[in-house]
Amino acid sequence: MKPPPFEYFAPTTLDEALDYMADYGDEAKPLAGGQSLIPTMNFRLAQPEVLVDLNGLAELAYIRPAAGGVSIGAMTRQRSVERSPLVAEQTPLIHETMPYIAHPQIRNRGTFGGNLAHTDPASELPAVATALNARFRAQSRSGQRWLTADEFFVDLFTTALEPEELLVEIVIPPLPARTGYAFHEISRRHGDYALVGVAATVTLDDSGLCEAARLVYFSVGDKPVEAVQATAALAGQKLSAAAIDAAAEIAATQDIDPPGDIHASVAYRRHLAKVLARQVLAAATARAKQD
């Protein structure tokens, strides 16, 4: 479990880092917290020829208010996001999700941007970022561009980033009025990747009916999977237990096509997806009523 040889650069500015990325393109991998990349290299599943270490880029570690929402630099440690009062206040769904990611030791090193760039299908943040309509700023030597979550998450461990691009910033817009949110996951042990997890938001209209809902799963496909049929069925409805039940059923049986593996069969994943959908939709609705 030793990685093959690689070249290592430790830039201290973003420009310098982008230069390396431009020069080495395909052969290079940026190194953030290393909590996913280093194990993959030690297993020799990834064999990058060049590592561009982003840990010297203090300019990418920040949490700032942004038009009612929050802007988070890619190199911000997961633990900083978890402990940020600004995040807790402006985007509480992220705040509530952070403790589910691995263990404190790992969150101390692992970064917010690294987690999203890694796009593990079992990872919490891509689903939450999708539910929250997060926007992603990608930068290369030749310029920058903004991507939506749908655009950013392409496939299993694959984002829309070009080889020479870095993810530099994630902006999470504020939730609309009368919106509630909830997150839940089922994992085997404390700190494990989830067998199934889900994030939800529910927005009520003036009369208390469902104006819009989002239900985004993780660990049930190659990337975050949004239960669009289930939430469509809720639009304009009163969010009664029966309506939520019906939506959960649709989500588990029609919206997702989960894989089976040694930890959870397809049937068990579907069952958990239903149980979780019921819980988060009910919780988000309750919060929306208070909002």
Partner 1 sequence: MSTRYFGQRIKRNEDVRMLTGQALHVDDVNFADMLHVAFYRSRDAHGYIKEIDVSAAQEREGVVAVYTAEDLGDYWQPGPLLVPPPPTIKGLIFNQRTQVPLAKDKVRYVGEPIVMVVAESRYIAEDAAGDIWVEIEPLPAVIDIEQALSEDAPPIHDDLDSNLAAHVIQRKGDYETAVQQADLVIKRKLKYDRGTAAAMENRGIVAQWDAKSHKLTVWDTTQAPIVIRNGLAAMLGLSEHQVRVIAPFIGGGFGPKIMMFYPEEVLLPWASMKLNRPIKWIEDRQENFFATTQERGQVHEAELALTRDGRVLGLKHNFIHDGGAYIPYGLTVPLNSQANALGPYATPNYYSEFKVAFTNKPIVTPYRGAGRQHGVFVIERMLDIAAKELDLSPIEIRRRNFIQPEAFPYNHEIIFQDFAPLVFDSGNYEPALDMAVEMIGYEQFIKEEQPRLQAEGKKVGIGVAAYVEGTGIGPYEGARITVEASGKVSVASGIGTQGQGHFTSFAQIVADQLGVDVRNVYLVTGDTDQFHWGAGTFASRGAVVAGNAIHSAAVEVRKKILKLASEKLEAAEEDLELADGQVRVKGVPETAINLGSLAVMANPLRGAVRPGTEPGLEATSYFGPESGTTASGVHALIVEVDPETMLVEVKKYVVVHDCGKVINPLILDGQIHGGVAQGLGNAFYEQLHFDENGQLLNASFMDYLLPTALDVPRMEIGHFETLSPLNPLGIKGAGEAGAIPAAPAFVQAVENALGEAGPEILEIPLSPNRLFELVLGVGLTQKTR
Candidates 63-71, 110-118, 169-177, 272-280; binding stretch for ligand FAD (CB under 6 A): 110-118
Q: Smallest distance, Å, CB 39 to partner 1?
A: 8
43 binds, among partner 1, ligand FAD, none (CB under 5 to 8 A by kind): partner 1
CB of 274 to partner 1, least distance (A): 9
Given 18, 193, 224, 285, the residue binding ligand FAD (CB under 6 A): 193
Stretch that binds ligand FAD, among 6-14, 27-35, 142-150, 248-256 (CB under 6 A): 27-35
Strand-by-strand arrangement of the 135-140 sheet: 63-66, 69-73, 166-172, 135-140, 143-148
Binding letters toward ligand FAD, positions 36-75, x by CB under 6 A: xx----------------x-------------------x-
Minimum CB separation of residue 115 from partner 1 in Å reads 16
What φ, ψ does residue 177 adopt, rounded to 5°?
A: -65, 160
Cross-strand bridge partners of residue 143: 140
**Residue 189 CB, nearest approach to partner 1 (Å):** 5
Helix 266-290 crosses helix 241-250 at what angle (to 10 degrees)? Answer: 140
> Residue 81 forms beta bridges with which residues?
none
Q: Beta 143-148 vs 158-159: how paired, if at all?
A: unpaired
- Footprint on this chain of partner 1 (rule: CB under 8 A): 1-5, 43-44, 186, 188-193, 195, 262-265, 267-268, 271-272, 275
In the structure encoding, which two tokens stand for residue 45, read together?
């599943």
Torsion angles phi and psi, residue 156, rounded to 5 = -50, 120
| Residue 263 binding target from ligand FAD, partner 1, none, CB below 5 to 8 Å by type | partner 1
Does residue 117 bind ligand FAD (CB under 6 A)?
yes
Task: Pick between residue 13 and residue 265 the one whose CB is nearest to partner 1.
Answer: 265
Three-state SS at 197: strand
Instruction: Choose from partner 1, ligand FAD, none: what does 41 bind? Cβ within 5-8 Å by kind.
Output: none
> CB 37: neighbour CB atoms within 10 A?
20
φ, ψ of residue 57 in degrees (nearest 5) = -95, 80
Question: Cα 2 vs. chain centroid, distance in angstroms?
Answer: 29
How far apart are CB 290 and ligand FAD at their closest, in Å?
Answer: 29
**5: amino acid identity, one letter:** P
Taking the complex as a whole, the smallest distance from the CB of residue 81 to partner 1 amounts, in Å, to 22
Q: Of 70 and 264, which has the nearer Cβ to partner 1?
A: 264
29 binds ligand FAD (CB under 6 A): yes
Among residues 215, 180, 214, 219, the alpha carbon closest in space to that of 197 is found at 219
Would you say 258 and 196 are in contact if contact means Cβ atoms under 8 Å apart? yes
What gap in Å lies between CA 240 and CA 246, rounded to an integer? 10
Closest distance to partner 1 from the beta carbon of 177 (Å): 33
